Chains A and B, each alone.
Chain A
Amino acid sequence: AQSVTQPDIHITVSEGASLELRCNYSYGATPYLFWYVQSPGQGLQLLLKYFSGDTLVQGIKGFEAEFKRSQSSFNLRKPSVHWSDAAEYFCAVGPPGGGNKLTFGTGTQLKVEL
């Protein structure tokens, strides 16, 4: 069965510092990969997604993620964090080739210190 692991439950960074959120997945084939952000009391917003091709994916709000097949990872990065980036971040996988069902990781809570 597919699974998504986000090993860091909480991360605290200083504003302006770089950020990397880890995501590892277990799947029979290379799935579609997603990162979502959830602000308190709100739904999820898609930051970026990877289907195929270039393994470095650019998203909104200055985020990027790199797919590494050998490590089954899809880590999210941002060179310089802003206080408004404080939120919960979820990595998710979907069936390769499309389809509807997403499997989410347990999330990483990001705190930004001013």
Chain B
Amino acid sequence: GAVVSQHPSRVICKSGTSVKIECRSLDFQATTMFWYRQFPKQSLMLMATSNEGSKATYEQGVEKDKFLINHASLTLSTLTVTSAHPEDSSFYICSAGAGVGSYNEQFFGPGTRLTVL
């Protein structure tokens, strides 16, 4: 199946700093990438959807100025958490969509554990 990687797998940062997380589709071109946030013992919450070369679409309640998403190519999307605070600590998962026609199957990355001190 299609492979999606994320880097880094874990990151610890100080409050107030910015952190960039990369999501790459390794063996296919992803027209759409998705960013999710998962709190402990909870489900995945979609944060935003990004299409290559256009602005991301953010879900309600997600601050677009805090969670900057760039989808520079068909194989790379980045999520930058700006001015991170402890409440931003979470597990961030990306997925990449690939498909033809109406169905766009999502392939998930392994996730990035962010800890903000």
Contacts and interface: CB of A to CB of B under 8 A. Distances in A.
Interface residues of A, number: 21
A100 interface: yes
Main secondary structure of the interface of B (DSSP, over half): strand
A56 interface: no
B102 A102 contact: no
Interface in B89-106: 93, 95, 97, 99, 101-106
A44 B106 CA distance: 10
> Which label, helix, strand, loop or mixed, suits the secondary structure of the A interface?
loop
Given A43-B4, A105-B43, A106-B43, A100 B108 contact: no
Contacts of A51: 103
B49 to A, nearest CB: 6
A45 interface: yes
A28 interface: no
A46 interface: yes
Contacts of B106: 100, 102
Contacts of B109: 43
A53 interface: no
Given A43-B93, A51-B103, A98-B101, A104 B43 contact: yes
Contacts of A45: 108
Interface of A: 9, 32, 36, 41-46, 51, 90, 97-102, 104-107
Interface of B: 4, 6, 9, 32, 34, 41-44, 46, 49, 93, 95, 97, 99, 101-106, 108-111, 113
